[in-house]
A and B are shown apart, each in its own frame.
Chain A
Amino acid sequence: MSLNKTDKERVKAFWSKVAGKADAIGAESLARLIVVYPQTKTYFAHWKDVSPNSPNVKKHGKTVMGGVADAVTKIDDLKGGLLSLSELHAFTLRVDPANFKLLTHCILVVLAAQFPADFTPEVHVAMDKFLAAVARALAEKYR
């Protein structure tokens, strides 16, 4: 299920449309993750305020989406390009990779809600494949 030329073109084209709202998309996606999948809050026990509208969630959502934006620029070599991020997730954060799928789903829901006309089924499948590839690259160093 690797990215073909059409997938990459679709991801880059769609991303150029939504990049301006990346921070808000990130904040919204992370907020939904902790509300819809409360078990994910276990990774944020060190935050006093884990409510969906908290400054921590907004800031972290922005960080995560920054990573996604970066991944778009490295779409031709995600494993190589995301190497240090993979090491971070594998050795320091140790987020169970199952959670990447949950966050991916939340990101797709936010994209659909905010860009209903542009988030066509064709764009949806390209973005889903892309985020799955990013997740695989992030999990690369786990074991």
Chain B
Amino acid sequence: MVEWSDQERSIINSIFASLDYEDIGPKALSRCLIVYPWTQRYFGGFGNLYNAEAIKTNPMIAAHGIKVLHGLDRAVKNMDNIKATYAELSVMHSEKLHIDPDNFKLLADCLTIVIAAKMGTAFTADIQAAFQKFLSVVVNALGRQYH
């Protein structure tokens, strides 16, 4: 069981309460596809990913980024039981989407960097630690049901 301090819970809830999903979602996903181009392998049907500019302005990628970011909402609401909460999603990512779980960490790192850019100096070391702890639990849970 993952132990969360009151401060960590407060940090995570605060970040997500003020999150602009329509801004951050597209930025995080497009950054992942640009910084780690091999992740584009999962987006064959998403149209033009030919260069960074195309990725940044691709509406299908933007919509998908928002969808993925909202996927974190259930983890925020169920911080004490993320593993069970994501069991079905993990199965789906394995059996239907066939995503290499290493990719989850790449997207998590990009999301951290996009949030850092948005919050600036307000994104302190303690906040970074709590946010990364949250994302690593999510990443773990999503990879848990692979076999």
- Which residues of A line the B interface, CB within 8 A? 31-32, 35-36, 52, 105, 108-110, 112-114, 116, 119, 121-122, 124-125, 128
Contacts and interface: CB of A to CB of B under 8 A. Distances in A.
Interface of B: 30-31, 34-35, 52, 55-56, 109, 112-114, 116-121, 123, 125-126, 128-129, 132
A105 B120 CA distance: 16
Contacts of A109: 112-113, 116, 123, 128
6 contacts: A110-B116, A119-B117, A121-B35, A121-B55, A122-B34, A124-B113
A114 B128 contact: no
A36 B113 contact: no
A128 B56 CA distance: 19
Given A112-B117, A113-B116, 13 more contacts: A35-B129, A36-B129, A36-B132, A109-B116, A113-B120, A113-B123, A114-B120, A114-B121, A121-B34, A121-B35, A121-B56, A124-B35, A128-B35
A122 B33 CA distance: 11
Nearest to A116: B117
A35 B113 contact: no
Nearest to B120: A113
Given A121-B31, A122-B52, A31 B117 contact: no
Contacts of B129: 35-36
Nearest to B125: A35
Nearest to A126: B35
A122 B56 CA distance: 11
A31 B56 CA distance: 32
A85 B12 CA distance: 39
Contacts of B125: 31-32, 35-36, 52
Contacts of A128: 35
B126 to A, nearest CB: 6
Contacts of B128: 32, 35-36, 109
Contacts of A121: 30-31, 34-35, 52, 55-56
A108 to B, nearest CB: 6
A112 B122 CA distance: 12
Closest CB pairs A-B (n = 4): A116-B117, A35-B125, A121-B34, A112-B117
Nearest to B121: A113
B90 to A, nearest CB: 24
Contacts of B52: 121-122
Nearest to B53: A122
